[in-house]
Structure 1
Amino acid sequence: MKDFLIILREPDGRLNVHDEFEVKAHRQRMGEWFQKHIQTGNITGGSALSLKGKQIKGKDALIVNEIHRVGTEIVGGYILLKAINLNNAVAIMRSFPVYEFDGYAEIRELMTT
C-alpha cells in the first residue's frame, strides 16, 4: 500500500450559503463516507482546517496575516489515505461528498525518504 495526501479545496463556505437541510444531509454523507473508509483501513488521518492562519512568502520570508485563497477558494482540509496506487486512490476519492458543494480533491503520493 502507498500513502497519499488528499488536499481538499472548496469555495469559502461563508460566501456560499446552503440550505440547512442540504448542509445536514451533506454532513451525514461525509460522516458515512469517512466511517466506511476508516473501517477498511484506507483513511489513516486527516482534518478540516480552520480559517485562521498565516503565510510566509518569498526570499525575505514575508509574513502575510491571512490564509491562501484563489478567488473565494480555500484549502478546507486534508486526508491521509492508503491505497494500492494512484488509480486506486482516485477510485476511492471519486465518491467523496466534497464535490456536492463545488469542492475538489488533489491527490498526491507521499514520497518515501
Structure 2
Amino acid sequence: MSVPATPVKRNTTAKHSSPLVANPDDQKQLAVVIDYYHETLKQSPDALEYLNSRGLGDAELIDCFKLGYANRTLGYRLPVRNRKAGAEVRGQLQRVGIWRC
C-alpha cells in the first residue's frame, strides 16, 4: 500500500529584499521609505519625464527636496504580512501614516 503523495506548495511570487526592518524608530523608518521612493523616481524614465514636463526635472531640485515616485512597489519588498516582522513593519508604517491596509 502506498500513501498518495501530496504536492509540495511552492511560492510563486518573486522574493525581494526589504529595505525596512522591524522596530527602528519612526523617523528612521520614514527616512528609509523616503530614500526608497527617491531612488525609484531616479530609476523611472516616465516619472522623470513627467517632472520635466512640469518644469521640475532639474536633478539638483530632485535631490535637494528628495522627490520620489510612489509606484506601489514597496509592498513587494516588505516582509510577508502573516509573519511577525511583516506585521510589525506594516503596523509601524500605518501608525506614521504612510501605509494603508
Q: Normalized against structure 1, the TM-score is what?
A: 0.27
In terms of fraction of residues, the more helix-rich structure is: 2
- Give the alignment's TM-score, normalised by structure 2: 0.29
Considering fraction of residues, name the structure with more strand.
1
Larger Rg: 2
